[in-house]
Chains A and B, each alone.
Chain A
Amino acid sequence: MELVEVNQLQAAIDSFVGKDVYLHLETTNGSYASHFNEGFFNAGAFIRNVVINFELGKVVGDSPHRVGLKLPQGWVYAQGITHFEIDEEGRLLLAGHDGTGKLAVALQLSETPFSY
């Protein structure tokens, strides 16, 4: 993965507009957050292989970036995006990694389903 280059990422997002695409969206503090820091309120969410079709997608802000997708009847967004990659299968993988290299957020789009 590379640090987000806004113009490249914007072009990649644009290439998925108007298509049925599989979405992976994840936010996490890690399952051990409340173990190492008792009282920590651990929250996160995970969606994988839900099909969406968005009409507008934008990457905004300085790093870490925010990425939002406008759907005909709804929204998807993620904040904290630091890195991106178009992998060998043409999937757009966005992630936010904290200073210690731990993933905190991921937003991924693919024209074919992600593995299980």
Chain B
Amino acid sequence: MTIPKERHVLVIFPHPDDEAFGVSGTITTHIQQGTPVTYACLTLGEMGRNLGNPPFATRESLPAIRKKELLASAEAMGLTDLRMMGLRDKTLEFEDDEKMVRMMEELIEETNPSLIITFYPDFAVHPDHEATARAVVRAVRRMTDRPKLHCVAFANNTLDVLGEPDIVYNIKPVREHKMNSMKAHISQTAWMLEEMEHKLQNGDTETENWLTLERFYTYRWDQDFE
């Protein structure tokens, strides 16, 4: 499946590193094809738990570290329009719902995207992912001329309920960019990357596919989440 040229792609996730694992290859490809990409990252992952033992950071020093990592990930993807939206990790579902929708509407109005990428409501596991997904879907639902909405889903029941993703991109040509995006978030990914590289060296095809195939579900408006 080749990645079509878009007018503008708007990516909305709550945490630095949410873009890296599932979407950084797709983002890189859009950028290399000349499509403008905006990434709105709602928090700085302030409540991340990986602080090391012995610790390399504190609860208070982590946000600055993750901000630098986010900037480095953007650079790895070639992304120039990064928006840090200033909300706090793990609080999104407690914000005023309408304020969240308005934040998404303003991003959409400004960037006029032909494609929006976010999480799939009810299949996004983390409460911040779910709150982000709900706000984006609500904002897009209100539009008369809706852009395409591609959603990342990884809850354990995803395959049972949603079936196979309808969009699968092989991002092998930009594999290195994706690796560098993931490595940019080293404070949170070090342990995982070590295990991944070990599996890749042993020729584990499942891991290679996990790395090079990026999967999306087109949002099903006929089975709206609410």
Q: Which residues of A contact B (CB under 8 A)?
A: 1, 24, 26, 28, 30-32, 35, 38, 46, 82-83, 85, 87, 91, 93, 95, 97-104, 106, 108, 114-116
Q: Are the CB atoms of A31 and B52 closer together than 8 Å?
A: no
Seen from chain B, the residues whose Cβ lies within 8 Å of a Cβ on chain A are: 47, 49-55, 58-61, 63, 86, 88, 90, 125-128, 155-156, 191
Select A116's contact among B54, B88, B90, B126, beta carbons within 8 Å: B88
Nearest Cβ on chain A to B93's Cβ, whole angstroms? 11
Number of CB contacts from chain A to chain B under 8 A:
66
Instruction: Give the CA-CA distance A97 to B156 in the complex, in Å.
Output: 27
Contact across chains for A83 and B55 when beta carbons are under 8 A apart: yes
**A95 and B90 contacting across the interface, CB-CB below 8 Å:** no
Across-interface contacts of A106 in B (CB, < 8 A):
59
Whole-angstrom distance between the Cβ of A98 and the nearest chain B Cβ: 7
Q: Return A35 CB to nearest CB of chain B, in Å.
A: 5
Q: In whole angstroms, what is the CA distance A61 to B125 when docked?
A: 37
Q: How far is the CA of A90 from the CA of B201 in the complex (A)?
A: 46
Complex CA gap A5/B191 in Å reads 28
Contact (A87, B125) CB under 8 Å given A35-B156, A101-B53: no
Sample of 30 A–B contacts (CB below 8 Å): A1-B54, A1-B55, A1-B58, A24-B59, A26-B59, A28-B47, A28-B49, A31-B125, A31-B127, A32-B125, A32-B126, A35-B125, A35-B155, A38-B156, A46-B47, A82-B53, A83-B54, A83-B55, A87-B58, A93-B59, A95-B55, A95-B58, A97-B52, A97-B55, A99-B53, A100-B191, A102-B49, A103-B59, A115-B60, A116-B88
Q: How far is the CA of A28 from the CA of B115 in the complex (A)?
A: 36
Contacts of A30 in B (CB 8 A): 49
What residues of B have a CB within 8 angstroms of the CB of A32 in the complex? 125-126
Question: How many Å from the CB of B77 to the closest CB on chain A?
Answer: 24
Q: Contacts A115-B63, A116-B88 known; A98 to B53 CB distance under 8 Å?
A: yes
A93-B51 contact given A32-B125, A32-B126, A35-B155, CB 8 Å threshold: no
**Within 8 Å CB of B156, what residues of A?**
35, 38
Knowing A26-B59, A85-B58, A115-B63 touch, does A95 contact B51 (C-beta < 8 A)?
Answer: yes
The 3 A-B pairs with the shortest beta carbon distances in the complex, nearest first, are A101-B53, A101-B52, A102-B49
Q: For the complex, give the distance between the alpha carbons of A28 and B52 in Å.
A: 15
- In the bound complex, CA of A106 to CA of B51 (Å): 12
Whether B60 lies near A103 (C-beta < 8 A) is no
CA distance A97 to B57 in the complex (A): 11
A32 CA to B47 CA, complexed, in Å: 13
A2 nearest CB neighbor, chain B only = B54
CA–CA, A102 to B155, complex, Å? Answer: 22
In whole angstroms, what is the CA distance A101 to B194 when docked? 15
- Give chain A residues whose Cβ lies under 8 Å from the Cβ of B47: 26, 28, 46
The answer to whether B128 touches A103 (Cβ under 8 A) is no
Question: A104 vs B49: C-alpha distance in the bound complex, in angstroms?
Answer: 7
- Across-interface contacts of A99 in B (CB, < 8 A): 53
Which residues from chain B contact A82 at a C-beta distance below 8 Å?
Answer: 53
Nearest Cβ in chain B — how far from A80, in angstroms? 12
Chain B positions within 8 Å of A91 at CB level: 60
